Amino acid sequence: MKPRLLLCLLVCLAQFALSAAETWPDALSRMPLGTNVTQLNRTNCVGIMLRAFQSNDVVKALIFMPGATDEFYFFRRARAELSASPASLLDAVSALTNQTLIRATFRPPLLLLHTSEDLLEPAFKIEHQPTADKIKQARFVAHGVYNDRDWDYLRKVLKSSLRTDMRPPWRSRDSWHFYRNSFAAWNLTGWEALEATALAEETTFTVRPKQVVFEMDTRPRIAPKLEAFPH
């Protein structure tokens, strides 16, 4: 095959691969939400959506960040109607982003449901690179659904799967003000699991020799603007 013809073929194949690449909406559109779901509210939304999240090649975790869960459980003002029947997980995300203050941001491979109050980049420090490298090579549980789970629950899962000590210790006062975790995940690496946990519970983490220490994330935040609330 002539070099010029080969080059053209490779360019065409590359363009085809890019055009065929799946997006996160594509992935979620194939995930059934469940039968007879017509409204998302504080009593059903988080559980239904986390259980509907399936394994795929694009999104590895669906995370309700603290701002999003506050809209349901603290402010009690998030509610969305579903027009599609049967609805998909994408329909649910679209309903939330169109009818509430909740927004969706894909931070590969994590899909974040959040408000303007949430910080979308996890804060961390690495004080011991060998421990960080070990965690990056480790695997989290193949599939996990954590609906309103506290730090003590996640600590046990993280410690067991990553074979690294996790602080604060069990029943420590230092974790009392951590948000409760609400996320579902498939096939996360160890490092992705740390980031998912930090984003879900509004914490930072520091990697030290043979341990990871989580602390409250005290970075300043901006409260959601009520005038942006859909009518």
Q: Is residue 4 part of a domain?
A: no
Domain boundary among 86, 119, 152: 119
**pLDDT given for residue 15 in this prediction:** 47
Per residue in 31-77, pLDDT tens?
Answer: 999 878 999 999 999 999 999 999 999 999 999 999 999 999 999 99
Are both 46 and 134 inside the same structural domain?
no
Measure the CA–CA gap between 201 and 65, rounded to whole angstroms: 7
Question: Does residue 110 form part of some domain?
Answer: yes
Asked whether residue 7 is domain-assigned, the answer is: no
Read off the CATH number of the domain in which 199 is found.
Answer: 3.55.50.30
Distances (CA, A) of 135 to 207, 208, 227: 10, 11, 43
pLDDT of residue 1: 53
Determine, yes or no, domain membership for 230: no
Number of domains into which the chain is organized: 2
Verify that 144 and 78 share a domain, yes or no.
no
| Structural domain contains residue 8 | no
Domain of residue 196 covers 124-216
Q: Indicate whether 11 belongs to any domain.
A: no
- Residue type (1 letter), 65: M
Pair (115, 182) in one structural domain: no
What local confidence, expressed as pLDDT, does residue 10 receive?
Answer: 56
Question: Which residue, of 92, 119, 146, is where some domain finishes?
Answer: 119
Res 35: pLDDT: 79
**Residue 171 neighbours by CB under 8 Å, 6+ apart:** 152
Q: What type of residue is 20?
A: A
Same domain, 59 and 99: yes
The residues of the chain scoring below 50 in pLDDT are 11-12, 14-19, 231
Residues 158 and 90 in one domain: no
216 is written with which tokens? 């409250």
Q: Kindly state whether residue 227 falls inside one of the protein's structural domains.
A: no
